[in-house]
Amino acid sequence: MVDEALSILLLVASLPEGINEIGKLSFVQTLVEIIKDGTPKNKECAAALLLVLGSHNSSFILAALQYGSYDHLKEMSTSGTNRARRKANSIFRLISKSQHIG
């Protein structure tokens, strides 16, 4: 059920008004919790959604880091599903490009 909900949210996030609605910091915290404790598929979907949000606004990536996502994304980048590894690595590229994060 979580997979389906995350997939729907990913579609919503593809619309500008959708990003404004779901891109709240409390939602980012929920994504980080899923990245930490979810099933491999849940983690993959949450990372994909975080990537979409972070691609539009780097403050979402900063918030995810503040909520403790770094180690879990690092683990996903080496031992997650193929898609999860790609998404985690793309998030790390966003982090390195961000002016606000370093």
Domains of the chain, by residue range, sit at 2-97
Q: Whole-number mean pLDDT of the chain?
A: 88
Distance separating alpha carbons of residues 100 and 35, to the nearest angstrom: 22
Specify the higher pLDDT residue, 23 or 53.
53
Specify the higher pLDDT residue, 85 or 97.
85
**Would the pLDDT of 24 be above 60?**
yes
3-state secondary structure of 16: helix
- CATH 1.20.1530.20, domain 2-97, yes or no: no
The candidate with the shortest Cα–Cα distance to 33, out of 60, 69, 1, is 69
pLDDT tens-digit series, residues 37-76: 999 999 999 999 999 999 988 889 999 999 999 999 999 9
Task: List for the chain the helix, strand, coil content (%; round to 5).
Answer: 80, 0, 20
Residue the block writes with tokens 């909900």:
5
